[in-house]
Amino acid sequence: MRYNPAMATSRATRGNFFEDFETGQLLRHAIPRTVTEGDVSLYIALTGDRRPMHCSAEVARSLGYARERVHDLLVFHMVFGKTVGDVSLNAVANLGYADLRFGRPVYPGDTLRAESEVLGRRETSSGTSGIVWVRTTGLNQRDEVVLSYARWVMVQKRGSAPTGAKDSPPLPAEVPASELHFHPELEPQMLSEVAWAFGGRARWDDYVVGERIDHHGGMTIEESDHMTATRLYQNTALVHFDQHAMAGSRFGRRLMYGGHVISVAYAAAMNGFENGLGMLAWNGGQHVSPTFAGDTLYAWTEITDKQPLTNNDSVGALRCRLVAAKNVDPVKEGVQRRIKDAEGKDAYDPRVVLDLDFWLAMPRKLASDE
């Protein structure tokens, strides 16, 4: 049967364009997702992450959890993936994050859903797209908050008529240390009993504000890695999937999902933060430059602050600046996060692709460590 455009129906959605968003709008995202053990295993296979609380039920139980926890970033990706159909199906690029907080732990068998509130909009100077800010909340089957974050994304416009949208919202610059909390039942003897399983010696007390930790070794991201990861998270953004459409874009190819870049960089950060107990919050983050299949990612972390936690004196918080660069070894080639550009202005090194500012939970020294 020959295709006849006049016979086509509008049952299938093309997603929201910039003109479809309204400040204050509440979006309840479809397709709740039950997280399985298979999802957890596949995430480990795709990223190489080795943190024992996410791959050992016995270690997790020893620390007071019901069983192995679903990885913080897998929770993020799955909640993020729920939002794509409504928020970023027609994205040009996801630009950044702010005020991200991890809530209740997630276990295999939990079911996640998401909803988002539109915080503001601003049309770009090109007139072909606009930036949309949303606050997304991830909830489990008991309606407990497992994740909350703000993000902003550049979205294509449907037409050429100016919208006049110009109400970009103020966002907090950080999550205050006084608002950080970690598993309150965790006791010093619990950490002592399973310290061997983490494979590291450094505790919160050992890290120094201002130090830089290079996570030696890079990981080349294959097309199959990126595509499998994006499908795992049910992220359907065309910029990641549709090579035919992207062939006409300014890059001429699909962009790698920025969240996968975060996961690979954070997996590399196990080397140097072996005793890390999980992400507490993100102060902010930017996808500085695009990443493509075939790129090799390297990472380092800068310690910018350290604070005790108010609800557990066995654990402290390290403020970490996780930076990823592509196709350059920071150790051998001396890459810096910021440089002076040709005009003498402060700018990102063009090889940097990720700049993520987050709080990491780290056990403090015990009396037995002295």
CATH number of 13-35+70-171: 3.10.129.10
pLDDT mean over 180-203: 85
- Which stretch of 8-12, 139-143, 219-223 has the lowest confidence by average pLDDT? 8-12
Q: Is the pLDDT of residue 186 over 80?
A: no
> Confidence class of residue 367 from pLDDT cuts 50, 70 and 90?
low
Tell me the pLDDT band of 343, cut-offs 50, 70 and 90.
Answer: confident
Given a cut of 70, whether residue 112 has pLDDT beyond it is: yes
Instruction: Give the pLDDT mean for 31-35.
Output: 97
| Rounded mean pLDDT, 273-280 | 95
For residue 113, what pLDDT band results from cuts at 50, 70 and 90? very high
Bridge partner residues of 360 (DSSP): 279, 318
Q: How much is the pLDDT for 90?
A: 84
Rounded to an integer, what distance in angstroms lies between the CA atom of residue 310 and that of residue 366? 18
pLDDT given at position 344: 82
Spatial separation of the C-alpha atoms in residues 275 and 196, rounded to whole Å: 10
Asked if the model's pLDDT at residue 4 lies above 70, the reply is no
- Count of alpha carbons within 13 Å of 357, Cβ hemisphere only? 18
Pull the structure tokens for residue 143: 């309606």
Residue 340's pLDDT band, with cuts at 50, 70 and 90, is confident
pLDDT at 204 over 80: yes
pLDDT band at 341 (very low <50, low <70, confident <90, very high): confident
Average of per-residue pLDDT across 77-104? 92
List every span in the chain annotated with CATH 3.10.129.10.
13-35+70-171, 173-370
Q: Which of 99-113, 125-139, 199-213, 228-242 has the lowest average pLDDT? A: 228-242
Torsion over CA: 94, 322, 101, 138 (sign): positive
- Residues above pLDDT 90, as percent of the chain: 71
pLDDT (average), residues 344-362: 93
Closest among 300, 298, 301 to 328, alpha carbons compared: 298
Tell me phi and psi for residue 347, to 5 degrees: -155, 165
Res 211: pLDDT = 97
Q: Is the dihedral of CA 327, 329, 333, 337 positive or negative?
A: positive
CATH, domain range 173-370: 3.10.129.10
Mean pLDDT of 113-133: 95
Contacts of 301 (CB under 8 A, 6+ apart): 212, 213, 215, 269, 272, 273, 320, 321, 322, 323
Q: Higher confidence at residue 174 or residue 187? A: 174
The stretch 60-77 carries a mean pLDDT of 94
| Predicted confidence (pLDDT) at residue 139 exceeds the cutoff of 80 | yes
Count the neighbouring beta carbons within 10 Å of the beta carbon of residue 203: 18
Segment 185-200 mean pLDDT: 83
In whole angstroms, what is the distance from residue 134 CA to residue 121 CA? 9
CA distances from 219 to 76, 113, 257 (A): 21, 31, 16
Of residues 94 and 41, the one with the higher pLDDT is 41
The overall pTM is greater than 0.85: yes
Looking at every residue in the chain, the average pLDDT score rounds to: 91
Q: What is the pLDDT averaged over residues 341-353?
A: 88
